[in-house]
Amino acid sequence: MATKKLSFLDSVFLLAENRKTPMHVGGVNLFTLPRGVDEQEFLHGVASSLRTADEFQPPFGDHLKTGPLGVAGPMYWERDSAIDVDYHIRHSALPKPGRYRELFALVSRLHGTLLDRNRPLWEMHLIEGLQNRQCAVYSKFHHAAIDGVRSMHLVQSMYSTSAQTRMTESPLSLKSGERYRAALKQLHAEPATDQELRNVAEALRARYDSGVQMYSALKRVTDAWRGKGGPLSMPWLNVPRSAINTPVDGARRFVAQSWPLERIRAVGKALGGTFNDAVLAMCAGALRLYLQNHGELPAQSLKAMVPVSLRVAGDVESSNAVGAISADLATNVKDAAKRFAAIQASTHAGKAMYAGMSASEAQLFMQLIQMPGLLLMPLGLTSRFPPYSTVISNVPGPRQPMYWNGARLNGIYPASIVTEGVALNITLVTYDQNVDFGIIACRRTMPQVQRLIDYMEQSLCELEEAAGLSVRGAKRKTTPTSKAKPKAKAKPKPKAKAKEKPKAKVKRAARRRG
């Protein structure tokens, strides 16, 4: 039977996984049902299309195979010849009244359970019972099997730019995957210029791709990080121990919200930075408000790990091709414009450092720096030495409206990974005219993470004001998500939690000590 060896990084996601830190990524896709179509009929239709495939493409059709050393030794993907497809594709429903609140509660739960390692490492939940003729799909993949960009390729291959297109075969099938790759090859005829880079990456992977060398590699990485000077030590420098950087447990909280892409882009432009700088500034302002309102704002600025894709155009097969820079979020700066400037300076410096490196040095550095939390976890060091305060990850999605069997895709809200010592992850997808944010947090560490959504809006308004932009005009551009939850916005504290608030901090602190 054909098998494929896991790369070093892919296997780290399995090695680092435990009950408290599941290592799957995923998210919620939100749809509006096509006119005149019954919800149940629609969902049963897509479910049966999804199920009917002679063979499933990777990762849907492959399970993990380990040798006598288990996850510590070499691991392989192996074709699964007895897929129980009803196990992977599931129907779920929301309790009434079927608001986003109920959806987020369900997704929080689903994201907090481990995938079954005896099966292909994915689940897809078709969710009914939403208000306003919407429905949702929550998907979940092991990060060893997939990264954000790969999952966007899956989105592209699954959905259509036309409302008229109907599924004729399962987009999870081997055939569908092959056809998508063929179509993509036509678009990116020659990946020649990137090929060299790709070869370096492959060579590096091979170098670390041995179960025996893994621990010595990890050791070298941690040595470099723990203060032997040079740029490699950067991620650990001046990272405050904030309330976000605690040991975590397995339960999660998920919240999501869309903002018009144009609003955020305009801020970046007006302040002389990039779209990504504006995203970071928007999140930084929100984190400052959150920590301030909880009386937990550290004197030192928070640092964010910002992943960068290393995937070459046309590569839809590698499961993980991710590098990273460390960005200073300037959460200790009160003024929004100054905060933006500080963030911009930091991302500039991050990029400049790469510019001074040879292609292979850049690759090596990114290999070493990427997901440092994961690399340290097997050594048990992350919560004592937080490498960064949080992760803010930007995944480019399709830039035009997409449809699934005629249902309009309203938003793509990612749900990523919380690691030991880093209890918060903010991931965003640029889709159509929006930026869709998905925030995942440790349920215990950040019981009020939903407030970040309001603080992000507040932070964006501050930035718009600082940039001299018309805040009122921009505010009118509401998004599908924001429109439907006016109540949550007006009254962001659910009663039970609001009551707990004064005690919560003390209790959490007590727990950390115990």
Which member of 4, 34, 58, 92 binds its own copies (CB under 8 A)? 92
Our finding on whether 72 is near its own copies (CB under 8 A) is no
Our finding on whether 493 is near its own copies (CB under 8 A) is no
Nearest residue (CB) to its own copies, 269 versus 505: 505
Do residues 265 and 459 make contact, with C-beta atoms less than 8 angstroms apart? no
Q: How far is the CB of 145 from its own copies (least distance, A)?
A: 17
> Which of 328, 376, 423, 353 has the alpha carbon at shortest distance from 226?
376
Find out whether the peptide bond into 97 is cis, omega within 30 degrees of 0.
Answer: yes
- Residues 6, 103: Cα–Cα separation, whole Å: 34
What is the CB neighbour count within 10 angstroms for residue 5?
Answer: 14
- Residues 42, 51: Cα–Cα separation, whole Å: 14
Our finding on whether 507 is near its own copies (CB under 8 A) is yes
Task: For residue 72, give every residue at least 6 positions away whose Cβ sits within 8 Å of its Cβ, in sequence order, or none.
Answer: 15, 211, 214
* Residues with catalytic roles: 143
Per DSSP, the three-state class of 257 is strand
- Residues 351, 395: Cα–Cα separation, whole Å: 18
Our finding on whether 113 is near its own copies (CB under 8 A) is yes
- Binding string, 154-193, against its own copies, x = CB under 8 A? ----------------------------------------
Our finding on whether 84 is near its own copies (CB under 8 A) is yes
Which member of 14, 46, 53, 94 binds its own copies (CB under 8 A)? 94
Q: How many CA atoms lie within 13 A of 95 on its CB side?
A: 6
Our finding on whether 496 is near its own copies (CB under 8 A) is yes
The DSSP call for residue 385 is: S
Our finding on whether 294 is near its own copies (CB under 8 A) is no
Nearest residue (CB) to its own copies, 93 versus 184: 93
Q: How far is the CB of 475 from its own copies (least distance, A)?
A: 32
Which member of 35, 68, 82, 192 binds its own copies (CB under 8 A)? 82
Do residues 188 and 314 make contact, with C-beta atoms less than 8 angstroms apart? yes
Q: Which helix (H) or strand (E) holds 90?
A: strand 89-93
The DSSP call for residue 235 is: G
- Residues 434, 478: Cα–Cα separation, whole Å: 10
Q: How far is the CB of 334 from its own copies (least distance, A)?
A: 33
Which member of 36, 54, 68, 81 binds its own copies (CB under 8 A)? 81
Q: How far is the CB of 93 from its own copies (least distance, A)?
A: 4
Restricted to residues 367-426, the positions that interact with its own copies (CB under 8 A) are none
Per DSSP, the three-state class of 310 is coil
Which member of 72, 105, 163, 364 binds its own copies (CB under 8 A)? 105
H runs (alpha helix) in 52-173 = 85-88, 100-111, 148-158
Our finding on whether 447 is near its own copies (CB under 8 A) is yes
The beta strands (E) that lie in 332-487 are given as 390-396, 403-404, 407-415, 424-431, 434-442
Which member of 169, 194, 202, 249 binds its own copies (CB under 8 A)? 249
Q: Which stretch binds its own copies (CB under 8 A): 66-74, 98-106, 356-364, 456-464?
A: 98-106
- Residues 368, 362: Cα–Cα separation, whole Å: 10
How many residues lie near its own copies (CB under 8 A)?
46
Our finding on whether 74 is near its own copies (CB under 8 A) is no
Restricted to residues 24-63, the positions that interact with its own copies (CB under 8 A) are 39-40, 43, 51
Q: What does the chain come to in residues?
A: 514
- Residues 222, 230: Cα–Cα separation, whole Å: 14
Q: How far is the CB of 103 from its own copies (least distance, A)?
A: 11
Would you state the structure tokens that stand for residue 384, as one six-digit string? 């004592």
The beta strands (E) that lie in 265-351 are given as 303-309, 322-328
Q: How far is the CB of 429 from its own copies (least distance, A)?
A: 26
Q: Which stretch binds its own copies (CB under 8 A): 82-90, 285-293, 306-314, 478-486?
A: 82-90
Which member of 2, 35, 68, 118 binds its own copies (CB under 8 A)? 118
Q: Which residues make up the interface to its own copies (CB under 8 A)?
A: 19-20, 39-40, 43, 51, 81-82, 84-87, 90-97, 102, 105-106, 109, 113-114, 116-119, 126, 128-129, 249-251, 443-444, 447, 496, 503-504, 507-508, 510-511
